[in-house]
Amino acid sequence: MSRGEIIVLILSLLFEASLNQLCERETDCPKENQDVFSSSTTEIPSLLRPGVTELFFLSSPIATIPKGTFVKNPQLEKVELLSTTTTSIEPGAFEVIFTCPMEPTSQETSPSFTHQYRNKVQGCKSQMMIYTALLVLEITCTLVLARFTLSLYRLLQRRESKNQRVELTRFSYRREVILRPLQR
């Protein structure tokens, strides 16, 4: 290797290293599917450019995220608020209608596009089936718990009416869903 080739190699390695340092965080060098908003952004835009699936807000003075903020952008998959001054999120702020795309009926689309689109439709349908099954399971568990509670209440009433005095002063029911990451 000549001296000139070594210098060119070292310069190219230094240039590549400097590029990597510029993009330490995901928000430093956004991809085509990402939009990054800075401290000059005071509210979340209602419409985004086509293809944006990820939003980042860096030090933005967004105080409140109102209801229906993301409804016009159902393609969103990720929203990150980093060092913002957000103090409240209204109920329904992240409410986005979840719909599965329809399968293309036109024969003019390319076979690879049609295959990718069908895979996306199938994945969406699978997620909906899983969600529906979990919803049915939750409803079933709630009904079983309600029936158990009612039978316990009736048992205590019978005991009270016989000879033992049991006073039911307060009864409460609380449903809680706790999501935890899987431990591997």
**Sequence-separated contacts (24+) of 2-5 with Cβ below 8 Å:** none
23, 65: one domain? no
| Residue 174 domain flag | no
Strands (DSSP E) along the chain, which ranges? 34-37, 54-58, 64-65, 78-82, 88-89
Distance CA 35, CA 52 (A): 7
122, 132: one domain? yes
Identify the pLDDT of residue 97.
Answer: 46
pLDDT above 60 for 150: yes
What would the pLDDT profile of 91-101 be if each residue is shown by its tens digit?
877 776 455 55
In this structure, what token pair is assigned to residue 170?
């307060």
41, 21: one domain? no
Give me the domain span that covers residue 88: 34-97
Distance CA 38, CA 56 (A): 8
What would the pLDDT profile of 16-52 be if each residue is shown by its tens digit?
655 555 666 766 778 888 888 988 888 888 888 888 8
What is the domain count for the chain? 3
69, 40: one domain? yes
What would the pLDDT profile of 50-63 be if each residue is shown by its tens digit?
888 888 898 889 98
Tell me, yes or no, if the pTM score tops 0.75: no
| Residue 175 domain flag | no
**Contact at 8 Å (CB) between 51 and 27?**
no
Dihedral sign for Cα 16, 21, 25, 29, please: negative
| Residue 115 domain flag | yes
| Better-predicted residue by pLDDT, 144 or 170 | 144
